[in-house]
Amino acid sequence: MTWENSAITITTLLPLAGAIVIVLVPKDRDRLVRGLGIVITGAALVLAAAIAMGFDYGAGGLQYVLDTTWIDAIGARYHVGIDGLSMPLYLLTYLLTFLCAIYTWRYVPSPGRTKAFVALMLLLETGMAGSFIAFDLILFFVFWELVLVPMYFLIAIWGSANREYASIKFFLFTLFGSIFMLLGFLAMYFTSDVDGAHTFDMLKLQGFAQGGGFSHTFQLIAFGAIALGLAVKVPMWPVHTWLPDAHTEAPTVGSVLLAGVMLKMGTYGFLRIAIPLLPEAARVYAPWIGLLAAIAIVYAALACLAQKDLKRLIAFSSVGHMGFVMLGIATMTEIGFQAAVFGMVAHGVITGMLFFCVGSIYDRYHTREIATIGGGMSQSMPKMAGIFSFVAIASLGLPGLAGFWGEVMSLLSAFNPNAALGLDVGTYRVFMVMGGIGTVLTAGYFLWMLQRVNMGTLPERWKGSGFPDILAVEWVSWAPLLVLTLVLGLYPRLVFGMTNEAVRSLTGLFGG
Amino acid sequence: MGSVDYHAILPVLILAGTVMVVLVADSFLPRRAAWAGMPLAMLGVVAALVATLTLIGEERSTFGGHYVVDAFTLVFQVLFLGVAVVVLAVSLRYFREGGFYQGEYYFLLLTAFLGCVLMPASRDLLMLFISLELVSAPGFLMAAFRKGDIKGNEGGLKFFIIGVLSTAVMLYGMSIIIGLTGATRLDEVATGLAGLSGAQRTFADASILFVVVGFAFKVSAVPFHFWAPDTYEGAPVPVAAFLGVASKAAGFAGLLQLMFVAFIGEHEYWVPLFAVLSVLTMTLGNLVALQQKQVVRLLAYSGIAQAGYMLLPFALVSADAGVNAAAFSAAVAYIVIYAVMNLGAFAVTTAVARRHPRLLVSDFAGLARAAPVLGVGMIACMVSLAGVPPTGGFWGKLLIFQAAIERGDLGTWLASIMVINSVISIGYYFSILRVIPQETADTEPMDVSWLVTVVVALAIVGLGVIFILPNAVAHLGDVAVLGTGA
Amino acid sequence: MTSQEYAFVVTAVLGALAAVGTVTARNVVHAALYLVVALASVGVTFLLLGAEFVGWVQILIYVGAIVILFLFGLMLTKAPIGRDSLDGKNRVVGAVVAVLVFAGLVGLVQAAFPFDGAPALPAAGGSLDIGTAMFTDYVLPFEAVSFVLLAALIGAIVLARKDEGDPR
Amino acid sequence: MIRLPLVLTFSALLFSAGIYGVLARRNAVMILMAIELMLNAVNVNLVAFSAQLQDVTGQMFALFVIAIAAAEVGIGLALVILLFRNRASINVDEVSLLKW
Amino acid sequence: MVGLLGFVAAEGGETAEQAAVAANWFAEHVWLIPLLPFASGVLTLFLGKRTPGKGTVYGILAVFASFVLSLGVLWSFAHGGADVEQTADWFTIGGLHLELGVLVDGLTAAMLVVVTSVSLMVQIYSLGYMHGDIRYTWFYVVLSLFTGAMLVVVVSSNVLQLLVGWEIMGVCSYLLIGHWFEEQPNSNAAIKAFLTTRIGDVPMMFGFFALIAATGFTTTNIGETTRAIAEGGVSTAFVAGAALLLFGGAIGKSAQFPLHVWLPDAMAGPTPVSALIHAATMVAAGIYLVGRLFEVFVVADPVVLQIVAIVAAITMLGAALLAIVQDDIKRVLAYSTLSQLAYMVAGLGMGEAGYTAGFFHLFTHAFFKALLFLGAGSVIHAVHSNNMSDMGGLKRSMPVTFWTMLIGSLALAGIFPLAGFWSKDELLVVAQETGTTWLLVMFLLTAGLTAFYTTRMVLRTFFGTYEGAAHPHESPRSMTAPLVLLASATVGVGFLGAPQLGAVFGDWVHFGEHHEAEFNAVLALAGTAVALVGIAIGLAVYRTRRATDPMEKTLGPLWGVLQHRYYIDDFYMATVVRPVRDRVSAGVYWTNQHLLDGAVNGAAALARVSARIVMWFDRTLIDGAVNGAANITGETGGLLKYLQSGNVQWYAIGLVAGVIVLTAFFIRL
């Protein structure tokens, strides 16, 4: 065991170990548990950062690889590694969870139960991080599903009024999707023949696919199944309906991690599995994915306009933003893929931050109804209002802030999709125009939201309620995201630099 | 006919001895101390378990091949003895406080487990039959152990009537098979059957079905399942645990031997039969379970559905020995995993029964607060039973699934049906799961026997081990497959 | 047709009638008596087949012991008399099912062992072998069965006995 | 001597009669009796085959079946008596508290 | 510092060599110009409230420094400096290489001066005007950010960098229009402005994409992309499309028909903001964009430029007419701005020849329009009302304001020798030279109208009797000083383009070969004459102050049309809204509540109503399918459970029947 081959295993499993430690802490040591949460996630973040430091960004391919036997009965191996595509998302996972742990320092949402809360959060972290490093389909699937149960409980226990419905809907929807995904995996496994054996190894399958191992029809079917599973998680229109409920009902930390990281698992899956392993099918499906993505953008923006609930609005906006990511992916171009990864990171940072804001607003007002809040937040909490506006504006894609590059590059890539798709550019230009309309509508609902929340005068009912403006804990947990929003906007190379090599080899699969 | 291999039957001897000791001791114990039967029984079971463990790696045969010790036997014997430990542990308080006849109960329970332990080692029709009866007869009695409760009587009687009826049908089948083949040893039966043709073969096939009925009753396969929900509900909860886990696993231990050894040559005939049984069982079990409000009843239907999954590998048998081995090992692995998660669920239910005797689903609300270990344990078991990845239940299903896909055509269809069923099953497992973390007015901590807590914790650990090292369980099946030579 | 076969046919017809009587009689005691006849005819069949040991066991245990047990059971439960009190509502269904079973079984038997040209059975015999086998090859099942009986005995006592006071 | 099909037919009749009894009788003791008929049918088969095959196995089996049958009767009657004590009736069609 | 010394030295008339060194220094440090205001914005944000003067000092100093540097850059061009392009790697995405860069040519230099000087004036002016405002520091923060963003647009050497500045500018505009967001109309106006311009920005962005695509997705550099377009390789339709898309951005930002509706509403912002953003600088960015990418327009099908000219003509005349009927002094100026912006667009619409003229008008207009707005602000500050009906007779109480505004007004009317005269005259000359007579007529017509409404404004504000409630007084120094400075600029800058003086502006800003502007006495006279006629009519009509506007009677039904802004806003509402309204009866009330103001709100309402439909779709169909499946399985279970009847004999029948059926089915006979 060297650092090289064990680093990501240690980093990924550290939160899991931490969760076990936390379970063993006495129940009444509330502060200790929260402190431990911060320390563990912090340590994991440091390790992740160390991995990032040691990563050779110039080289393509996997690094920190560990490939060893695991469940030979079903042919699954423990194959982990990290490349430019995983790196930004891997780091994002640790950063967001760490910040969530800090945010939790102040209080754990009703009904308390700090231990369980922190432990589930850590379990979630392992699941999320693991899905970004797994290079074996079953291993990937395990991590993918590992996320499900903790998130279910985060929503079901610490959620708001309608939590039961939301949590079950979330669970069933995603499980439904992942069953299809698993079927797709198994189909690939049984069809594959590498050195006379079936395999779940992504890289081997990729080679097998390149060698023409999967027939055209097979690819179409397998891609359909896998894409369905991934699409639910993304979520793509029209299988997104779990998301507004889940996001809305989840506790703040849950929403942040859900929006910030979990949705990316779906889009990442497209880049990591669906497209490289089934490139022919990807080519066929691409325009349809693009269409759904374009619909999602417009649809979500319209839906946002109809929202009366602040958190629900943000939730719907995620659908639209992920639409841009999917549009980028659907172009199958280098720019599109890069845009997608950037979009994922940016969405994680910005929407995560938006959920933090909404959570804190809710803490003070104890309502999420925009009409009840009634405006005037700039008067009661000028700093909060300022931060909220900043993040909202970042989210609507203002150039110079993180949200911009993912959107604009995704639209740019749609201008001319990969020639290998053999499509008339017109199709994608229509998507591009829909995306453009979406950006206008997006600006519309965000500004309208700001008008109704921040602007105007403080309604009578809130006068004298003495809301505290942003608290120290909030500053600490938010500052990194705010800085990142700005830095990514001004210096997008931070992400593009990481992903360049990996994306190049990905696009290489299409000869485009 | 050599001398008896005492090492081989040592576990059985110890268990039988314990049965007698418990019985005798009970007559000398004052009523206040009647609970002492439990530690005695526990001691014997643990000793038997140790004796079994010393046999690991051995291949022995005694009593003229009626009793065989091999990997298959050992896997199941260890499983049964482990289950016995758990059932005993959860029984203590339930029976002590319920005013039951404790000594007799432990006596009957151990007798039933004696039958369980004999089942996998039995390699002829007669021993299988007697082992089955040894499991059933005490079962009938224990099911009615809540003497004052009409429901208990009713459950016991129904269990008995259906049990005896199916036994009669099975015996009829066995008599014909013996007559046609002139053999009772399973391997000889297989050879005998291979020599049949024409109408005699047809009669033999029909008889195979009759024989299957006896075991299908035991594993509660549709349409031989009707007793199960009523009996589980009427029986004391630990007895339901026994019926739901040990008795069912014993049924499968017998069925596996019959189908994979004795009747393997006739698979073309019975594979579609098992396909139908499996599909019917899982589908009906799941759909009806969705309607249940009473937890034990729900677990009964859940057990029916799970039996459907376990029956599926039987429908995968073909001429391809590789596929058969995969199916066999999948079935064994699933049974083991099923035992762990279902026992956990029953253990929790037993503890909850103390405060909420009616055991409605809603009675589990707030369990996570009132008894955290139980709450977590129940959640883990439910999630696992539902087959949510990557829990034990998932791995078990995946093994079956893989075998099914490997088999192709019919297997693919069955696999799809199983997937759909798994999805449906989430509905009712979650109906329990979701109430557990709820906040209730009644937040007073639940008084739980430390034995139950330990058992539930063990179940959690067990599920955790399966979760982290699924390989280990997956290989249990491989180990067992060697023993049958299938 | 040998004389033994004639004897068997008579026994069988008698036994069959008694069996039908057992399941259709309106009086519980009659039913029990029919059962005695049916079981006795089975015992006689065993004897005719040359299985003496089993035949005598049948007659002694069943006719002697089990039927008495039934009668006790009937008395203890004060079983009423009359068609409605003995038969359920699914007589017709039961009859249809039973006829189907009978037809099916006879069909299978006839197909597998055609009546024409079926050889006469030799005497079963072997009562001595039974004794030896019981305590050699069959010692394990024998012991196991004894546990079944023991369990049945103990359990039956526990369930059937009238508790005073506490135990439920 | 006796031809096998005849014996088997007798057995089939006993078995069918037993099935009818189990399905049609409402009195629990009557059901028990019917079951005894079924088990006896099995024994008839076993002994007949034992004769045909000239092998004691069938007879051995029959002896075990008799023993088990005795045990079952004991258990059955115990259950019936228990039921009677609690309900003052042993009609099985009235016993349907547990359903659905 | 070396450069600065060199600058001083060069001014002192030292050697040409030193001057060249100094000139290069300025050109090479252009990047500092946008950076300084950004830095000051950040400083003000974090330290402003703790600094004396509440942070205003950072902004003013930074803009002053930028202004000096800009002058230096312009000066370097005046001394024959060459175009400078500096770039630094930014990032690479796929094959697309992006650079951060500055591109300095004459156009940039001129724009830099305009932006920094007006910004400086406005910042100083705001010291007084915004004094005591609740978000005083914040105002300066945004003002600084705006200036920085505008400067980024001006110096950008690549389209995406330009887009960054462009959008930040938009957001600053939004923030400033909504500065007093406690009042809902203000925030409405802010949103309207942002969204309307964004509707233009999206096509513009697509236009950029087209440019990038023309290079094969390799670069975003303005020079290289336009070269790629010009050198062919892409179809003419593609070029025309790209040009039109780009023009979309200009239509939005420069408030041309049909996206002009936001600008009048934008007057809801503080007056200094109107002066800086909605008169002098940001609205000119659209024109600047067209100029920056003019290569695309030139090589494109001529029809593109014709479209540009037609749009300009419509806006020019239409807005001028609207200005006549306004009572709000800022709205008068706003429509005037629309109209004047259209002049510039029209100049560009005449092709290469009009390039210099168009930008010269932009240059002069920036100064006198800023002056007029600041003057109007001074008046508003005094009378606490925007309406001219609340003013009158302020000549005496506010002399400085009056005189400076008078200069500005005359410049706007195009009276010799003020700035407006020269630039308008140049446009007339180009129109005549290029033979676009119809445009010439439009120019003259608009000029007459301009003179008329300007006269109306001055008369109604400063002459007659005061009718307001407050006690008017002259504004403080901080406000009058910028007025005076701008007034002197208004007097001076026109001569930069005077043909008689060599028209140095043309040396700086030209497209292709420098187009030497001729002086055409006939046209000059015609222009002046038209203006004078306008003034005369104005004087005649408004010499005596009346309760109702005399034009109301004169114009008859036209008055109503103009009051309703040609019903354009209403038209948007009706065409977009009615289809929905007819179907959704509940929508009627709702629409009335929310859609009274303008097209953007109308569009938003349409969006909101369709959003409801979308929500319904979401809830009913998609969720419905999921729930439906769940119900079906549940119901099946509900029926199946009755199999478990509780009667054990039924169980037995089930068992035996099962055996029979299974045997019958599977037995091999």
Give B-chain residues touching D45 at CB under 8 angstroms.
172, 175-176, 179
Tell me if A178 and B426 make a contact (CB, 8 A cut-off): no
For the segment B280-303, the average pLDDT, to the nearest whole number, is 89
Give the lowest-confidence range in A117-121, B435-439, D36-40.
Answer: B435-439
Average pLDDT over residues B139-145: 92
Report the candidate in B80, B86, B92, B82 with the shortest Cα–Cα distance to residue B344: B86
Q: What is the pLDDT of residue E632?
A: 66
Q: Average pLDDT of D39-43?
A: 93
The verdict on a CB contact (< 8 Å) between C136 and B101 is no
Q: Measure in Å the smallest separation between the Cα of B212 and chain D Cα atoms.
A: 16
Q: Would the pLDDT of B309 be above 90?
A: yes
CB A249 within 8 A of CB A161: yes
Identify which has the larger pLDDT, E542 or E80. E542
Q: How far is B71 from chain C (nearest CA, A)?
A: 21
Q: C-alpha dihedral over E603, E607, E613, E615, to 10 degrees?
A: -160
* pLDDT score, position E590: 33
Instruction: State whether the Cα torsion E248-E250-E256-E260 is positive or negative.
Output: positive
Q: What is the mean pLDDT of residues E104-119?
A: 86
Q: What is the mean pLDDT of residues E75-81?
A: 74
* Top-ranked range on mean pLDDT: pick from B40-49, B455-464, C134-143, E330-339: B40-49
**Mutation for E interface: C96, C101, C102, C110, most E CBs within 10 A:** C101
pLDDT band at E628 (very low <50, low <70, confident <90, very high): low
CB contact under 8 A, D95 and E641: no
| Digitized pLDDT (tens) for each residue of chain A, 512 residues in all | 788 888 889 999 999 999 989 888 887 888 888 999 999 999 999 999 999 988 888 877 788 989 888 887 778 889 999 988 899 999 999 999 999 999 998 888 877 788 889 999 999 999 999 999 999 998 999 899 888 888 988 998 888 888 877 887 788 778 878 888 888 898 888 888 888 888 899 988 888 888 888 888 999 999 999 999 999 888 887 778 788 888 888 999 999 999 999 999 999 999 999 888 888 888 889 889 999 999 888 888 877 777 778 888 898 889 889 999 999 999 888 889 999 999 999 999 999 999 999 999 988 888 888 888 888 888 888 889 999 999 999 998 888 888 899 999 999 998 888 877 777 778 888 999 999 988 888 888 888 888 888 888 888 888 877 788 888 888 998 999 999 999 998 888 888 888 888 888 888 877 64
Q: What is the pLDDT of residue E573?
A: 58
Residue E646 to residue D100, Cβ atoms within 8 A: yes
Q: Give the E window 163-182 contacts with A, CB below 8 Å.
A: 163-168, 171, 174, 178, 181-182
Contact E656 D97 (CB under 8 A): no
Rounded average pLDDT over E458-482: 81
Q: Are strands B67-69 and B60-62 parallel, antiparallel or unpaired?
A: antiparallel
Of the listed ranges B155-164, B172-181, B360-369, the least confidently predicted one is: B360-369
Q: Determine the pLDDT at residue E51.
A: 75
What is the tens place of the pLDDT at every residue in E236-245?
Answer: 888 888 889 9
User: Given this model, what pLDDT does residue A308 score?
Assistant: 79
Mean pLDDT calculated for residue range B74-82: 92
Q: Over range B339-343, report the average pLDDT.
A: 90
Q: Which residue has the higher pLDDT, C107 or E619?
A: C107
Non-local CB neighbours of B127 within 8 Å, separated by 6+ positions: B66, B67, B118, B121, C140, C141, C144
Test mutation, E627, E631, E636, chain B, max B CBs within 10 A: E636
What do you get for the CA distance between the two ends of chain E, in Å?
109
pLDDT, mean of residues D48-54? 88
Question: Would an 8 Å CB–CB cutoff place B375 in contact with chain A?
Answer: no
pTM value is: 0.83
Interchain proximity C93–E656, CB inside 8 Å: no
Residues in chain B: 486
Neighboring chain C residues of D90 at a CB cutoff of 8 Å:
77, 79
pLDDT band for position C38 (cuts 50, 70, 90): very high
The H or E element containing residue E340 is helix E329-349
What per-residue confidence (pLDDT) applies to E273? 87
End-to-end Cα separation, chain D, in angstroms:
54
Q: Is the pLDDT of residue E582 over 50?
A: no
Looking at the DSSP bridge assignments, the partners of residue E96 are: E93
Q: Does D26 touch chain E (CB under 8 A)?
A: yes
At B49 the pLDDT is: 93
What does the pLDDT read at residue E631? Answer: 65
Chain D residue at shortest CA distance from E640: D100
Under the banding of pLDDT at 50, 70 and 90, the label for residue B172 is: very high
pLDDT of E52 reads 73
Given this model, what pLDDT does residue B164 score?
Answer: 93
Contact list in E for residue C101 (CB cut-off 8 A) is 656, 660
The letter for the amino acid at C23 is V
Q: What is the pLDDT of residue C59?
A: 87
Burial of residue B54, with CB atoms counted within 10 A of its CB: 0-12 exposed, 13-18 middle, 19 or more buried: exposed
Pairwise CA distance, residues B395 & E437, whole Å: 84
Confidence of residue E618 (pLDDT cuts 50, 70, 90): low
User: Is residue E610 predicted with pLDDT exceeding 80?
Assistant: no
* Closest CA–CA distance from residue E645 to any residue of chain B (Å): 9
Q: Enter the DSSP assignment of B445.
A: P
Tokens representing B34?
């009647």
Contact B203 C112 (CB under 8 A): yes
Q: What is the pLDDT of residues E387-417, one digit of tens each?
A: 887 887 788 888 888 888 888 888 888 887 7
**Interval B234-251 mean pLDDT:** 93
The helix or strand, by DSSP H or E, that contains position B227, with its residue range, turns out to be helix B227-234
In 10 A of CB A17, how many CB atoms? 13
How distant is the Cα of E195 from the closest Cα of chain A, in angstroms?
Answer: 7
Give the best-scoring range by mean pLDDT among A160-174, D66-80, E217-231.
D66-80
> What is the tens place of the pLDDT at every residue in B347-383?
999 999 888 888 888 888 888 888 888 888 998 899 8
Q: For residue B250, give the nearest of B275, B215, B285, B224 by alpha carbon.
A: B215
Residues of B in Cβ contact (< 8 Å) with A153: 379, 437
The residues facing E232 across adjacent strands are none
How many Å apart are CA B400 and CA B334, to the nearest integer?
8
Across all residues in chain E, what is the average pLDDT? 79
Is some CB atom of chain B closer than 8 A to the CB atom of A153? yes
Q: Which residues contact D90 (CB under 8 A, 6 or more apart)?
A: C77, C79, D27, D28, D29, D80, D83, D84
Does D13 score more than 90 pLDDT? yes
Whether B434 sits inside 8 A of A186 (CB atoms) is no
Mutate to test the interface with B, among E642, E644, E661, E665 (most CBs of B within 10 A): E644
- Contact criterion met (CB < 8 Å) for B475 and A175: no
Say whether B294 sits in a helix, a strand or coil. Answer: strand
DSSP code of A201? B
| Touch test D–A: 3 Cβ pairs or more under 8 Å | no
Tell me the average pLDDT across D49-63. 88
B300 CA: distance to closest CA in chain C (Å)? 24
Residues of B with Cβ-Cβ distance to E659 under 8 angstroms: 169, 209-210, 213
Q: Is the dihedral of CA C93, C98, C103, C107 positive or negative?
A: positive
pLDDT at residue C82 is higher than 70 = no
Among A111-115, B2-6, B259-263, name the most confident range: B259-263
Chain B residue numbers with beta carbons less than 8 Å from the beta carbon of A146 are 389-390
More confident residue, D96 or C37: C37
Interface with D, mutate which of E647, E655, E660 (most D CBs under 10 A): E647
Percent of chain C with pLDDT over 90: 26
Average pLDDT over residues E329-336: 88
Neighbour subunits, D (≥3 Cβ pairs < 8 A): B, C, E
CA distance B377 to chain A (A): 13
Q: Using CB atoms, which residue from C88, C100, C101 is nearest to E649?
A: C88
Q: Please report the pLDDT score of residue B102 as a whole number.
A: 87
Contact between E366 and E284 under an 8 Å Cβ cutoff? The reply is yes
- CA E137, CA E246: separation in Å to the nearest integer? 36
Which chains lie within 8 Å of chain A at 3 or more CB pairs, if any?
B, E
C41 to chain D, closest Cα gap in Å: 10
Whether the CB of E642 is below 8 Å from some CB of chain B: the reply is no
* C-beta atoms of C97 and E653 within 8 A: yes
Question: What was the pLDDT predicted at E22?
Answer: 65
Do chain C and A touch: 3 or more Cβ pairs under 8 angstroms?
Answer: no
Q: Within an 8 Å CB–CB cutoff, is residue B389 touching chain A?
A: yes
pLDDT recorded at residue B451: 86
Task: In whole angstroms, give the CA distance from residue D50 to residue C126.
Answer: 10
Tell me if A493 and E184 make a contact (CB, 8 A cut-off).
Answer: no
Each residue's pLDDT tens digit, E25-58: 777 788 888 888 888 888 888 887 777 777 788 8
Interface of B with E (CB under 8 A): 157-158, 161-162, 165-166, 169, 201-202, 205-206, 209-210, 213, 217, 222-224, 226-227, 229-230, 269-270, 272-273, 276-277, 284, 286-292, 424, 427
Task: Check if B16 contacts C (Cβ < 8 Å).
Answer: yes
Average pLDDT over residues B185-190: 89
* Chain E residues touching C88 at Cβ < 8 A: 649
Please check whether residue E364 is in contact with residue E493, taking contact to mean a CB–CB distance below 8 angstroms. yes
Q: Do D86 and B150 touch (CB under 8 A)?
A: yes
Q: Partners for B (CB, 8 Å, 3+ pairs)?
A: A, C, D, E
Nearest to E611 among A173, A306, A400 (CB): A306
Mean pLDDT of chain C: 83
In the predicted model, what is the mean pLDDT of residues C50-74? Answer: 83
Residue A93's pLDDT is 94
Cβ atoms of residues E323 and E332 within 8 Å:
yes
Q: pLDDT at position E20, please?
A: 63
What pLDDT, on the 0 to 100 scale, is given for residue E634? 64
